[in-house]
Structure formats: structure tokens, C-alpha cells
Structure 1
């Protein structure tokens, strides 16, 4: 039997901290709609921990892996990427993180891993593929590709009781918009709640897939607004979350092997400037435009102008990006940093076997921003031309970066196939 354990640690911030994810939103949180958590599932000597924050930077992720009780190379530290959480990354997304909360977040992820490891017991694992819930839409190209995969792991103790349910789906957790001022895990909260209702006593782990170009249908620019939208409400989030959970729960159960392995590597990603004009010219224009802009647009332009003055003049160094593939009894968990597009996920899935249940997730071990496929650069848009400014990056990732990540993941998956590696 596999030995497995699970744990949850509360990471809900107090009211008054800055929220992260929308440049249009300048007010702090006024309360909580649902508890934010760090959730860990440990299988053998490997683990995935997912925190309900927009991202966890590489340095913090590395400290979590080093400080927990498991071998660092066997651990994936992922963010849910909800936009209803606190600032969680140093030097990213334009607002300074609260140091006290940053320390709490790091300690909570470590505690979740350690508690799950201590709770390990003999278990059996089954896997299945849920049906397409029909929620995700390609927000850049109407009718464009989305990753519709909905894998589901059920982990049972020796007595048959389900102790953990693990799923993943590729749709941006941005049902709630910039007008929301309540802490929330967005629609994944409702996915988890529905799964835990189906299996009382179990802990549900939701991992966010490759959502760089996927949400429920609105454009990225639609979020530069503080207007209320009935399609972006808690009622809508619950409807969407429960629909995803229902589709996942329909997955058949196939037993997996007892072999557990982990492989990872680091690749170097370079940058390429998209802006043709000098930073001082851009700053002047954006500050002038901000003087007459409506509040949400004014906030965005202010971030851009600060970027032009402080960050744009710097020369970006290549970024070391960590890729990890866990193999839980023959089920791959492919973990990539940043906001990855559907095309990249689908390329990896094809190499794994299109009909094979597998997890391909983003926001793992770092969130440096959007990493688009090479053929998306011709279309420009927010994810290509603008988002790096809000992320606090000096330039966009160069074409070929996504393909480099995919090639690394495919190689690692072939090396972990059959359970070779860390048992």
C-alpha cells in the first residue's frame, strides 16, 4: 500500500491588508467570505501543498521545501492563484507584501506539509477522468483551445474511508472581480466544499491548471473596472464550482500502483522587451493619461508609470524556472511556474497520452507572470504586451520559453514513468 496523509492550515488574513490580483482595486479587504487555507497531500515521501494566494515566489517556495520534513526535491509548492487573497510575493504585482503575513504564509505551508507527513497511513489510491464541465473559455481567441481535463484522485485509508480527494481544472479563479473586498478562494472554494460534502471527513485539494488564457469568458481588460457584474458574484462562483465538482465526481475509479517518484530540473528563461519607446517617454505619457482617467484606469496607469521609472531601465537577468513531475502510482503531476497557456498544457498531455488521467498545473514553485507559447506573440494583448509591468518584471518572457518548459516537463515525465525515482 501507499502511505498518504493530508492536512489543512488556516491562512486567512485579518481585515485591512491589501488584496492582490487586480490593478483596479485599491481598497483593502474588509472581511472574509470563506477561509483561506494551505492544504497539503503527502503520498510516500512526496507532497503537494496549495495555498490560497495569487502566487508564492521562488525564494519563498525554496525555503518551504528546505524547511519541511520531506526531501526538498520531492515537494511542490503551488498557489491557487485566487484574486481574492492577500499580497503574497515580494516585489511582484506592484503592492508590497506585509512581512508579518509573508512569514505566516511560509510557516503555514511548512506546517501543512509536516502535519500531512505525520498523518501518513496505509492507503489506496484510485484515479479517474471527470467529464468536461464546459466552464473554461479561451479569453484571447473565441473558440480557441482550453484544457478541459478534470482528473480526480480518491485516497482511501485501510478501512475504506476517503481521506483526500484531489482534482485540478484550468480556469482562472477570477469569477469575483475587482469590486470584491472579501477574502475568498473564488470558485475553487465551492469545488472543494462540494467534494468534501460528497466524502464527509475527507480533505479536498484543488490545483489550478494552465489558465494563462482561460477564464469563464471575459477578457483580461474587463477586469480593469470596479463595476459590479452579476456574472462575477459569489452566486456565480458557487454555481461554477459545484458544476466542476459534479463533473469530477462522475469520474470512474481505476486503481494505481504503489510506486511513487519525483523528478525535477531547472531551465533558464530569457526575456524580450516589447516596448519600443524609451521608459521616460512612456512614464510621461502614462502619467498624463492618468490625470484624466477614471479611477480604475488611473490606478493601472499609475502602476505602469512607476514601472517605467523604476523597473524598465534595468536589464533583466535570465530566470531559473523549476519544473517538477511527481508520479503517484503512475499518475503524473506536472508542475510548472507562472501563468501557462492551454496550448502548452495540451502539448504535454499529448506526450503523456491524451486519454491518460494526469495533472498539469501552473503557479508551482514560483509565479513570475505569463509565459505564452511562441505563436501567441503575433497577437499581442494584455498577457503578451502589458502584464509584465504589473508583475514587476522588466520585460516579457522571450518566445520559446513555454516550449522550453514543456520540453523539460516531457523529459521528466518520461524519466518518472513506471515509478522510478524517490520512493
Structure 2
């Protein structure tokens, strides 16, 4: 295809760096800490760089549960010093595997100090390596449909069951993850996003460089506590490479979509999936990779796509406890035994009482970075926390392009950001704590602001 003077040849490079922690490293993602003692598969920082004469875009997806904004900013500062790239052109996100080293404070689990110090340099290495791998390239967006592996984890329950809430004795209107009370389930409560979207990247000789996938599935988690694993995200990448018969330089990436309320813990039909450790992760990751490979047929490739990015940081209000709630929480904390806590109902009351005291010391507002990229005919949005599937679905409906997806847990982690109506229903994702503390309208504010950024790219 002959290019006009305004068109600029794309270059692309991808790379991955092993970030697997040492034995004994703290693992977060649960109410209580776990420690790395079982090593199933390696963890990576994976980078994809797209560049033309004017613009360089960087996408980094890290096999980790969550990364707070101060951590991500530290990495971006280090990258900017070494590469002179604009920090606003860099997206750094978490896959959200719950089987990785900790760099964040979540409930009773703090960051692993040594891993927190080591990881920034490894992430920087992955980007530098990707920059060194730049070559003339072409891209294509595509998608498949995979509704079978996404389930709402929020359930309507029968009237004779009262969903527990550790902060309110009158309970919730819905139950998140109804383990042990499956007989009370009426139906799931929120919609799912069945799309498996992807950005495919090849060089001009049709050799594979990378595929950046996006799917709104929280994680699988079919492994024992104390395990290090990339979860289904890792199986997806490995199967892609195998099916494409790509060489060792190929980098398969799965990013986390809007999955704050979505998982694949099958409560109504538990026989659907194998129960052996990692069997479900392998099945789901492999099937998703197979769908992507089938969807590659007939894609429209661009060798000189427009590259643009816009970035904005919002200030969102923090919902803090009242003085009366602080007094009640203090009494509960002083009567609790956190060294031997069990996260049953009584244990959760103690955990969330502690959260109220810690939250009372939080700043009045949190910074929420938003980002939107245009890559040829496709657009990628970025949100800084765990947003529900309906947020991603609403964005897809409003964006005036067929090729759009949202990467969550990007550039920061402001925790759960449920839509207003879901927040009123309660459920685990809405229980006020440091991980769920934003003002009631936060989801709507973020959604409208991201749409405004996207409109600037159109």
C-alpha cells in the first residue's frame, strides 16, 4: 500500500523480564498474608512499544495483584530518566493474579519491602529491552466472543437468607461469592462482558512480535495458598506462542478488563470445570488463546497507523467514617486478636473495624489517572482500579469505534469502583475500607471523564 506524506511507518518492539520473587516473599490479595513456598510458573513484566516519527506509546502488563500509584509513578520517573519518554505515554497495569509478590498494603497484608525495592528496576528493564527490539511493523485489532468463562460473582439470594455485612448488622441486598450457601441463590446480579479483544502486532515479514489481549475475568485462583503463578494470564500467553508457532521473542500478553464483579467460581454448576490445581486456569487460558488465533483470519493490518494518547488525573473524594463510627471501630479493634485472626464473620468485623481507623487517616481525596490511546482504527482506555463489567460495556457502547477495550488496574489502584446502584446494594466490593472508599459518584465521574478523553482522539 502506498503511503501519503502524512503517514508514518510504525515500529514495534516487545519484551519480557522475569520478575518471579524468591521463596518466602509476601503474597497479598487475601484478607491475611501468605508467603511464596510453591512455584508453579514464572512471573513477568511484559512490555509492548509502538512508535512512529512523532509518538512513542508504551504498554506494560505486570504479573502482580495490584500496584499503587506511588509505586507506578516511581517506575515511570525511572523510565523517563533513562529513555526520555513522556510519562503520560506510558501505561503500566497489573494482571491481578493473586499469586505474586506484594508491593501494596491490602487488609492485613503489607508490601514485601525487598520485592518492592527490586521490582521497579525489572519493569524498567522490560521497557528498555522492548525499545531495543523496535523494528518496522504492522498492527491489527480483533475480537472474539467468550461468554462461557465470565460469571457475575454478585448474587441475589432467597428472602430467608440475609447476606452478611461486617459494617452493618442489617446486611446487604446481594451476596458476593456465596460459598456454602449455594442453595439460597436466585440468580446472578450484574451483566458480564463476553468480548475477548486484542491488538495483534507483526513485523513486515509476518513474524510475530506480540498480541495484547483483554478480557474481563478477575482471575481464576485454582491453586493452594502460598503459590506463585501467573494464573490464566500465563497460560493464555504460553498457548498463544505455541499455536502461532512464534519464536522465543514473541510476547503474549493478557490484560485485565473491567472485571471487579466477575470471576469464574461456578456456584450453580460446579461440575463444569476440573477441580485439580491449575486445571481450570490452564483450560480457560488455552481456550481463550485458541479463540484469538481463530479470530486472526481476515484482520485488516495497518503499517502506518495514527498514534495518539491523552492523559488526565482526577481528584476523587474519599468516603470516610464518622466520629461515631471511629469510636465504635476503636472499641472493636482494641478487643480483637489480629495475630490469630480467622476471616469468618467475627474476624471480618475486626478486619473492617481496623480499616475504618486506617481510612480515617487517609487524605480527603485520591488521585485517579485516566488514559486513552488511539492506535490506527482502534482505541484503548485505561482506568486505575477494579471497575465493574457494566462500566466497560457502557464505554464500548459510547465509543464510536468497533475496536475498543479498557485496561483496568492501570497506572494506579484506587480499589473497587462500583456503579452507584451496585454500591447501594452492598456486597463485598462495596464494604468501606481502604480498598473501597471513593465517593458514590466515582464510577460515573471516571466513565464520563474517560469518554471525554476518547472523544479528543476521534
TM-score bin (small chain): 0.7 to 0.9
2: CA distance, partners of 1:344 / 1:275: 29
Quote the Cα distance in structure 2 between the aligned partners of 1:185 and 1:287: 38
- Give the stretch that moved more between structures: 323-332 or 248-257: 248-257
* Corresponding position: 1:180 with 2:187: no
Partner residue of 2:387? 340
Q: Matched residue of 2:35: which SS? A: coil
User: Using a 3 Å threshold, how does the CA distance of structure 1 residues 270 and 232 change in structure 2: closer, same or farther?
Assistant: farther
User: What is the correspondence of 1:118-129 to structure 2 with a 5 Å cutoff?
Assistant: 118-129=132-143
Q: Summarize the Cα distance change of 1:168–1:332 in structure 2 as closer, same or farther, 3 Å threshold.
A: same
Q: 2:23 aligns with which of 1, 7, 15?
A: 15
Is 1:80 the equivalent of 2:80? Answer: no
Q: For residues 299 and 33 of structure 1, what CA distance do their matches in structure 2 show?
A: 30
Q: Tell me, yes or no, if the aligned pair for 1:175 and 1:216 is still in contact at 8 Å.
A: no
Q: Matched residue of 1:410: which SS?
A: helix
| Offset, 1:287 | 6.5
Contact (CA 8 Å) 2:107, 2:351: kept in 1 or not? no
Partner of 2:62: 51
Q: 1:279 aligns with which of 323, 326, 330?
A: 326
Under a length normalisation based on structure 2, what TM-score does the superposition of the two structures give?
0.81
Change (3 A) 1:156 1:400: same
Q: How far does residue 416 in structure 1 lie from its aligned partner after superposition?
A: 1.6
Distance in 2, Cα, partners of 1:104 & 1:96: 16
Task: Determine helix, strand or coil for the equivalent of 1:266.
Answer: strand
Residue 296 (structure 1) shift? 3.9
Once residues 301 and 126 of structure 1 are traced to their aligned partners in structure 2, the CA distance between those partners, rounded to angstroms, is 49
Shift of 1:218: 5.6
Counterpart in the other structure of 2:195: 149
Deviation at 1:196, TM superposition (A): 1.1
Residues 1:100 and 2:114 are matched in the alignment: yes
Rg (Cα) greater in structure? 2
Cα distance, 1:300 vs structure 2: 4.6
Counterpart in 2 of 1:28?
A: 35
Q: Is the 8 A contact 1:18 1:86 kept in 2?
A: yes
Equivalence for 1:112: 126
**1:211 paired to 2:255:** no
Q: 1:336 to 1:232 in 2, by over 3 A?
A: farther
The alpha-carbon distance between structure 1 residues 39 and 377, as it changes in their structure 2 partners (threshold 3 A), is same
Give the TM-score normalised by the residue count of structure 1: 0.87
Q: Which residue of 2 aligns with 1:223?
A: none
Change (3 A) 1:52 1:254: same
What is the deviation of 1:271? Answer: 2.2
Say which of 288, 305, 309 aligns to 1:258: 305
- The 8 Å contact of residues 133 and 243 in structure 1, kept in 2 or not, is answered as no
Query: Do the aligned partners of residues 125 and 116 (structure 1) sit closer, same or farther apart at CA in structure 2, a change above 3 Å counting?
Result: same
Q: 1:239 aligns with which of 279, 283, 286?
A: 283
Three-state SS of the structure 2 residue aligned to 1:250 is helix
Match of 1:225 in 2: none
Task: Indicate conservation of the 8 Å contact 2:147/2:195, yes or no.
Answer: no
Q: Which residue of 1 aligns with 2:376?
A: 329
Secondary structure in 1 matching 2:406:
strand
Query: Aligned residue for 2:451?
Result: 410
Q: Distance in 1 between matches of 2:92 and 2:352?
A: 29
State which drifts further: 368-377 or 98-107. 98-107
Q: Deviations over 1:151-179 (max 9, x none)?
A: 122211121111111111001114336x4
Taking the aligned partners of 2:191 and 2:233, their CA distance within structure 1 comes to 21
Count matched residues.
398
> C-alpha separation between the residues in 2 aligned to 1:289 and 1:66?
41
Contact 1:337 1:365 in 2 (8 A): yes
CA spacing shift, 1:30–1:302, aligned 2, 3 Å:
farther
SS in 2 for 1:337: coil
Cα displacement string for residues 304-334 of structure 1 (whole angstroms, at most 9, x for unaligned residues): 343344x143354211111011112221110
CA–CA separation in structure 1 for the residues paired with 2:220 and 2:342: 20
**Aligned-partner SS, 1:405:** helix
State the partner residue of 2:46: 39
